[in-house]
Amino acid sequence: MTPTDKAGAAPGTLRDGRRLRIRTGDGRGVPLPLLLPALAGLAFLLVPLAGLLVRTPWHSLPGLLAGAQVWQALQLSLICATAATAVSLVVGVPLAWLLARVEFPGRGLVRALVTLPLVLPPVVGGVALLMALGRNGIVGQWLDSWFGITLPFTTAGVVVAEAFVALPFLVISVEGTLRAADPRYEEAAATLGASRFTAFRRVTLPLIAPGIAAGAVLAWARALGEFGATITFAGNFPGRTQTMPLAVYLALQSDPEAAIALSLVLLAVSIAVLAALRDRWVAAG
């Protein structure tokens, strides 16, 4: 059981025969109406993962993972998710700042629109991206004829699709942090001669760095698992647009064992990255 207190060893130990006492940090008991749903929620999240682990064909795992395509897909996934996170940061942090700090008519509407990709089925998002940025899309046709850029079926297209679904997570997270941050620091900076941009760069940005980091992690995780928008907008070609989720999905069609093996790799890598990042930030904060 995870909830133990830091103060002593007494709570969490078995006493009175078989009763496990669970206590909060201040030594008070955890009320059952909170504990039971919490444990149910935890089980709900963990049991499917356990199922994955139990059904993993461990003996044939090395053979399944030996294929170059697995590592190619993993590498592509990591690169694209990171690039999509970078894109989200570059446009998302200023967007969050705009939503949090600047009053303009229709701000509520803009905020709702920003969160739209959250509720949009990703496949629809992919189709929408094709309509906008595809070879015949309303913007894409100009990209094509002026710069010779076509995004569908390219790695850049994967990044675009992932950024599209990941950006709202970052914007919402950063906006929340900005709203919680004291805007008077920006005023203090202004009285010291800092332009709004300088104040943002030298004061606000460092202050909300933890929030940005948290938003970036969310966005990265979302991008890493992205499937629908990616396969719809960027297609599926090994080494170019076939990310791990696509590889897993297609493997599932023909070889469920391989799909499980691939999922395991994706899980392991994301857990490793998230844990490493979290430790670093917790230590820094």
Partner 1 sequence: MTGNHGAAAEEARAGFRADGLDARLVVERGTRPGGGAAFRLDVTLTVAPGEVVALLGPNGAGKTTALRALAGLMPLTEGHLRLDGVALERTPPESRPVGVVFQDYLLFPHLTALDNVAFGPRCQGASKAAARAQAAAWLDRLGLAAHADAKPRKLSGGQAQRVALARALATHPRLLLLDEPLAALDARTRLEVRAQLRRHLADFEAVAVLVTHDPLDAMVLADRLVVVEEGRIVQEGSPSDIARHPRTDYIAQLVGLNLYRGKADGHTVRLDTGPLLTTTEALTGPVYVAFPPNAVTLHRDRPTGSSARNLWRCEVGGLETHGDQIRAVLTGELPLVADLTTVAAAELDLYPGAEVWAAVKATQTHAYPV
Partner 2 sequence: MTRTVRRNHRNHRTLHAAGAGVAALLALSACSSSGGSAAAEPDSPASAGGSDPGKVTGDVTVFAAASLKESFEKLGREFERQHPGTKVTFSFGGSDSLAASITGGAPADVFASASPRTMKIVTDAGDASGTPATFVRNRLQIATLPGNPDKIGSLKDLTDPNLKVVLCDKTVPCGAAAQKALDASKLELTPVSYEEDVKSALTKVVLKEADAAVVYRTDVKAAGEKVEGVEFPEAAGAVNDYPVTVLEDASNPVAAKAFIELVQSPEGQRVLTEAGFLQP
- Can you tell me which of 12, 111, 235, 274 binds partner 2, judged by CB under 8 A? 235
Shorter beta-carbon distance to partner 2: residue 84 or 130:
130
- Can you tell me which of 130, 178, 203, 216 binds partner 2, judged by CB under 8 A? 130
- Can you tell me which of 85, 204, 241, 263 binds partner 2, judged by CB under 8 A? 241
Shorter beta-carbon distance to partner 2: residue 134 or 168:
134
Using DSSP's 3-state secondary structure scheme, residue 103 falls into coil
List the interface residues with partner 2, window 100-129 (CB under 8 A): 127
In the complex, the smallest distance separating the C-beta of residue 95 from partner 1, rounded to whole angstroms, is 23
Which of partner 1, partner 2, none does 53 bind, CB closer than 5 to 8 A by kind? none
Contacts of 264 (CB under 8 A, 6+ apart): 52, 53, 56, 61
Query: Which two three-digit tokens encode residue 102?
Result: 């600047």
- Can you tell me which of 253, 282, 284, 285 binds partner 2, judged by CB under 8 A? 253
Contacts of 132 (CB under 8 A, 6+ apart): 138, 139, 140
Helices within the chain (DSSP H only): 32-54, 61-65, 68-101, 107-114, 116-119, 122-133, 140-142, 155-180, 184-191, 196-199, 205-207, 209-224, 228-234, 244-254, 256-284
Residues in touch with partner 2 (CB under 8 A): 43, 47-48, 51, 127, 130-131, 134-136, 152-153, 231-232, 234-238, 241-242, 246, 249-256
